[in-house]
Amino acid sequence: MTNEVTLRKSLSMYQVVYMGLAWMTPMIYFSIYGIAYENSHGMLTQAYLLAFAAIFFTAYSYGIMSKTYPTSGSAYTYTSKSIHPYLGFLVGWALLLDYFFSPIIACLTFGIYLHAQFPSIPAWIWIVGLNVILAFVNIVGIKFSANISKIFVWIQIVFIAVFCLFLLRNLTGDIHPMQPLFQSEVPFPSILGGAAIICFSFLGFDTVTTMSEETVESGRTIPKAIMIIIFAASIIYLVPSYLTQLIYPHLSFQDVDSAGFEIVRIVGGAALSSAFITVLILAIFTQGLSSVTSVSRLLYVMGRDSVLPKRVFGSLHPKFQTPVTNIIIVSAISLLALAISLDTAVKFVNFGALTAFFFVNVSVIAKRYGRDKQRSFVQTLKFLILPAVGASFIGYLLLLLDHDALWMGLIWVAAGIVYNGLKRVRMSLLNELKASNQDAALPQRIQKQS
């Protein structure tokens, strides 16, 4: 009799935090700086505060559900067990968009930036090379991935801290410290529009729930890790936003897409802007590493539950105790970075993530307030009102996605419905065939017994 191979419980709380921050990528602050600045009309501090408040409710719901179901699978598991398995499948299918396209985005941006630095080397070489490295590190083990993520996350944090120190050098005595918080010339709806864009800076905290079965005491560890990630990210984003808005209340950029690089050059000159490219490339690497980890675990859980073919997706390597087949599949799909545009990939990620966020909030209400009937005054606040606020805001963000993103997402969900339907028809035919074979063999069994 052979022992069943299971995921190895080895991650501490802070290793989980580093994996979450690696997926979230602190340097994304600079990557979306121009878009965020333009949409919030320069009111970045207020926009980040609003974005934090909005994401906090969903993070709170993830914390509740990770305590309730301390297993890997994230929104797929929560929706399946709290509402209905079929709806859980559809949410998991939509979430695959987020998780599949995140490593594609990492490979694509990695190729773009390094090709820009070294024009003689084609982008595809960087894309394929990164893919191979990400696969190898993930196959070796999640603890190795976590340790690499820790180093590279700290490099990003140190860079942002140095950026803030350069900002502090430019402080003068005639600056009012509360100015970034109470500027009123920009209408609130405009700031809210900026917050909607900035919310995507916080995407990634949810991925740590896919590591529950590899985390020590996950029922307590994961909820704490989620909150640490959210608050740490808020500080990482808010401090430079506040200081930049305080010192440079009015900015204009030559190119919105490269505004992050421009603001680094304005603040720190050539030296800091040179370091910026290096740190950004390291950030892209760690984001890709964490992305492959997350999607391979989600595929494993869906395979283990036979939602996806179990023989393919529901197995672990006996030595490494990692879903090696899934990692290889994800790496193969990530080669789409050779053909797909960055804009298209981002649209897929946004649809998948926001759909999952919405149903995690709804799952809290369905499980705790509905099924478990936890309806005292405090429980109503915790398990109905707060998740409902989170679901409402995420639903609003979903409606803000452009028509292309919504159509592509809905087409993907429709493909999932077709896949599930064909699978059910196949299972029904197999059961009928099995039953007919048993009926045909019944007279022979009776004859033998007599």
Tell me the per-residue pLDDT of 165-212, one tens digit each, with 9 for 90 and over. 999 887 766 667 777 676 667 777 777 777 777 877 787 787 788 777
Q: Do 326 and 439 belong to one domain?
A: no
pLDDT of residue 114: 82
pLDDT of residue 39: 80
Q: Is residue 103 in a domain? A: yes
Q: Is residue 6 in a domain? A: no
Q: Is residue 406 in a domain? A: no
Which of 70-74, 265-269, 375-379 shows the lowest per-residue confidence on average (mean pLDDT)? Answer: 70-74
CA distances from 106 to 60, 128, 227, 405 (A): 28, 12, 25, 19
Q: Do 81 and 52 belong to one domain?
A: yes
Kindly report the CATH number assigned to the domain that includes residue 244. Answer: 1.20.1740.10
Q: Do 289 and 425 belong to one domain?
A: no
The contacts of residue 195 (CB under 8 Å, 6+ apart) are 40, 46, 47, 48, 50, 51, 54
pLDDT of residue 396: 83
- Mean pLDDT of all residues in 351-376: 92
Does 258 score more than 70 pLDDT?
A: yes
Range of the domain at 424: 413-450
Contact present, 103 and 327 (Cβ < 8 Å):
no
Q: Do 225 and 166 belong to one domain?
A: yes
Does 1 score more than 50 pLDDT?
A: no
- Mean pLDDT of all residues in 132-152: 82
Q: Do 431 and 292 belong to one domain?
A: no
pLDDT of residue 320: 78
Report the alpha-carbon angle 191-192-198, nearest 5.
90
Q: Do 274 and 386 belong to one domain?
A: yes
pLDDT of residue 155: 94
Q: Do 297 and 371 belong to one domain?
A: yes
Q: What is the pTM of this model?
A: 0.79
Q: Do 371 and 450 belong to one domain?
A: no
Q: Is residue 108 in a domain? A: yes
- By C-alpha distance, which of 356, 394, 348, 298 is closest to 56? 394
pLDDT of residue 323: 87
- By C-alpha distance, which of 104, 75, 115 is closest to 91? 75
Q: Is residue 5 in a domain? A: no
Contact present, 352 and 173 (Cβ < 8 Å):
no
Give residue-wise pLDDT tens across range 271-297.
Answer: 898 898 889 888 888 888 888 888 888
Instruction: Provide Rg for the chain, Cα atoms.
Output: 24
Q: Is residue 408 in a domain? A: no
Which of 45-59, 179-193, 369-383 shows the lowest per-residue confidence on average (mean pLDDT)? Answer: 179-193
Number of domains forming the structure of the chain: 2
- Mean pLDDT of all residues in 377-394: 93
- Mean pLDDT of all residues in 234-239: 93
- Mean pLDDT of all residues in 304-310: 84
Q: Do 47 and 133 belong to one domain?
A: yes
Does 442 score more than 60 pLDDT?
A: no
- By C-alpha distance, which of 214, 235, 232 is closest to 224? 232
Q: Is residue 425 in a domain? A: yes
SS3 for 438? helix
Q: Do 343 and 433 belong to one domain?
A: no
User: Of 401, 423, 442, which closes a domain?
Assistant: 401
pLDDT of residue 183: 66
Calculate the average pLDDT of the chain. 84
321: left (phi over 0), alpha (psi -120 to 50) or beta: left
Max avg pLDDT among 170-184, 256-270, 356-370: 356-370
Burial 373-389 (b: 16+ CB within 10 A, else e): eeeeeeeeebbbebbbb
Per-residue pLDDT band at 90 (split at 50, 70, 90): very high
11 DSSP β-pair partners: 215
Host H or E run for residue 272:
helix 259-304
Which tokens go with 349?
């990620």
Which of 66-70, 218-222, 322-326, 340-344 shows the lowest per-residue confidence on average (mean pLDDT)? Answer: 340-344
Report the alpha-carbon distance of residue 402 to residue 405 in Å, rounded. 6
Max avg pLDDT among 224-238, 242-256, 334-348: 224-238
Host H or E run for residue 161:
helix 142-169
Q: Do 221 and 332 belong to one domain?
A: yes
Report the alpha-carbon distance of residue 212 to residue 346 in Å, rounded. 26
Q: Do 434 and 292 belong to one domain?
A: no
pLDDT of residue 450: 55
